[in-house]
């Protein structure tokens, strides 16, 4: 259900006149603006033909996930999905984890873990939390999770493929949390957090490829010449 205080013409006006948010998105554009007393951020599906259809479908899917997460602390409020192509969200006063400075790391990551567990309780696994752009740090240094574009909702009943994808993303969320909390220094993980870190085969492979690539790229030191 869309928020009744926001009309289709409010959304169109915001897309037309609102500030364009520069980012490298997959599905389309982002605009930020104000509707009444609300600061909103609008994700819109772009493209033509089949791409447009696919982008709209993905945004609609993201909307249904946001709806399932209504009321979860640490998730932006969703005002609705308008005209089949505009996802309207609360614009959180924040910076992404890539650019923000966290005041109290221990409190921040404890709260982030609570948010992850809360979304899991609603049957949603995020699946893309390794990307620092999908974690916001609010002005009062608290976490907020966004971008449910590749999230998986665990369907009840017999759905083996869905359950496989869900349990993969479920573990991926915890691994991402550990990665950010310890800033990739996996040797520093204390026993109480080790339970959350179970690298998936694909993550281990990616890490090996990355290490090898870094080694190849590193210029080899010139051999010492004895004179």
Ligand X SMILES: Nc1ncnc2c1ncn2[C@@H]1O[C@H](COP(=O)(O)OP(=O)(O)O)[C@@H](O)[C@H]1O
DSSP character for 38?
E
Cα dihedral sign, 204-210-214-217: positive
| Total residues at interface with ligand X (CB under 6 A) | 20
Token pair, residue 223, equals: 């051999």
Nearer to ligand X, 38 or 197 (CB): 38
The alpha-helical segments, DSSP class H, found in the chain are 8-17, 49-68, 105-121, 160-181, 191-194, 201-217
Q: How far is the CB of 25 from Mg ion (least distance, A)?
A: 7
Q: Which does 115 bind (CB under 5 to 8 A by kind): ligand X, Mg ion, none?
A: none
DSSP H/E element including 35: strand 28-35
Q: How far is the CB of 127 from ligand X (least distance, A)?
A: 12
In the region spanning residues 120 to 139, those forming contacts with ligand X, defined by CB under 6 A, are 133-134, 136
Q: How far is the CB of 203 from ligand X (least distance, A)?
A: 20
Those residues whose C-beta lies under 8 Å from the C-beta of residue 180, and which sit 6 or more positions away, are 97, 109, 112, 129, 132, 135
Contact 31, 18 (CB under 8 A): yes
Stretch that binds ligand X, among 7-15, 144-152, 186-194, 216-224 (CB under 6 A): 144-152
Nearer to ligand X, 61 or 197 (CB): 61
Measured CA to CA, the distance from residue 164 to residue 161 in angstroms comes to 5
Stretch that binds ligand X, among 1-9, 11-19, 25-33, 167-175 (CB under 6 A): 25-33
User: For Mg ion, which residue of 147, 170, 180, 181 counts as binding (CB under 5 A)?
Assistant: 147
55 binds ligand X (CB under 6 A): no
Binding mask 90-109 for ligand X (x = CB under 6 A): xxx-x-x-------------
> For residues 50-89, b (16+ Cβ closer than 10 Å) or e, as one string?
eeeeebbebbeebbebbebbeebebbbebbbbbeebbbbb
Contacts with Mg ion by CB under 5 A lie at 133-134, 147
Contacts with ligand X by CB under 6 A lie at 21, 23, 25-27, 30, 41, 76, 89-92, 94, 96, 133-134, 136, 146-147, 149
């Amino acid at each position: 259900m869309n928020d009744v205080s926001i009309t289709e013409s409010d959304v169109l006006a915001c897309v037309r006149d609102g500030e364009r948010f520069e980012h490298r998105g997959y599905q389309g554009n982002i605009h930020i603006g104000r509707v009444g007393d609300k600061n909103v951020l609008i994700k819109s599906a772009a493209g033509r033909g089949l791409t447009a259809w696919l982008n709209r479908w993905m945004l609609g899917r993201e909307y249904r996930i946001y709806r399932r997460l209504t009321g979860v602390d640490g998730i932006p409020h969703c005002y609705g999905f308008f005209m089949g192509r505009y996802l309207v969200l609360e614009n959180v006063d924040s910076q992404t984890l890539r650019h923000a400075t966290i005041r109290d790391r221990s409190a921040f990551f404890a709260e982030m873990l609570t948010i992850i567990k809360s979304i899991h309780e609603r049957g949603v696994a995020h699946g893309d939390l390794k990307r620092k752009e999908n974690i916001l740090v609010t002005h009062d240094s608290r976490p907020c999770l966004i971008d449910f574009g590749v999230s998986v909702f665990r369907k009840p009943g017999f759905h083996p493929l869905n359950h496989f994808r869900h349990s993969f993303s479920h573990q991926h969320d915890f691994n991402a949390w550990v990665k950010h909390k310890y800033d990739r220094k996996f040797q520093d993980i204390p026993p109480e957090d080790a339970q959350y870190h179970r690298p998936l085969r694909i993550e281990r492979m990616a890490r090996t490829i990355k290490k090898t690539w870094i080694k190849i790229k590193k210029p080899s030191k010139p051999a010492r010449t004895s004179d």
